[in-house]
Amino acid sequence: TQLLEQSPQFLSIQEGENLTVYCNSSSVFSSLQWYRQEPGEGPVLLVTVVTGGEVKKLKRLTFQFGDARKDSSLHITAAQPGDTGLYLCAGVKSFSTDKLIFGTGTRLQVFP
């Protein structure tokens, strides 16, 4: 059973469009991270959110942690071809573990 479900699985858009990726679970997470992975490379951390309702912005990317700490979203404004990649959410279930549980992933393609 996949604890973190991401939607959509695939997304193809034109440069300049906006998009939102969702990361949902029925479990509560003590913290949640978003990573981006490019072909042939390992995932790279974009952001960490730890407080329910927290919103963080990274240039054109806006990340939100749900109030109940069960879900998160990533919104990209005016997408660019350089945003192309696999986006992964990853959560830590409790303070007693160091394990990250990764989501199912969203593959984004931005066309010029």
Partner 1 sequence: DAGVIQSPRHEVTEMGQEVTLRCKPISGHDYLFWYRQTMMRGLELLIYFNNNVPIDDSGMPEDRFSAKMPNASFSTLKIQPSEPRDSAVYFCASRRQGGLATEQFFGPGTRLTVL
Interacting residues toward partner 1 by CB under 8 A = 2, 30-31, 33, 40-45, 48, 50, 88, 92, 95, 97-105
d(CA 60, CA 109): 16
The residue (of 79 and 90) whose beta carbon lies closer to partner 1 is 90
Contact 35, 44 (CB under 8 A): yes
d(CA 107, CA 68): 26
The residue (of 13 and 100) whose beta carbon lies closer to partner 1 is 100
Quote the least distance from Cβ 98 to partner 1, whole Å: 6
Quote the least distance from Cβ 109 to partner 1, whole Å: 16
Contact 110, 14 (CB under 8 A): yes
d(CA 5, CA 3): 6
Quote the least distance from Cβ 9 to partner 1, whole Å: 11
The residue (of 14 and 97) whose beta carbon lies closer to partner 1 is 97
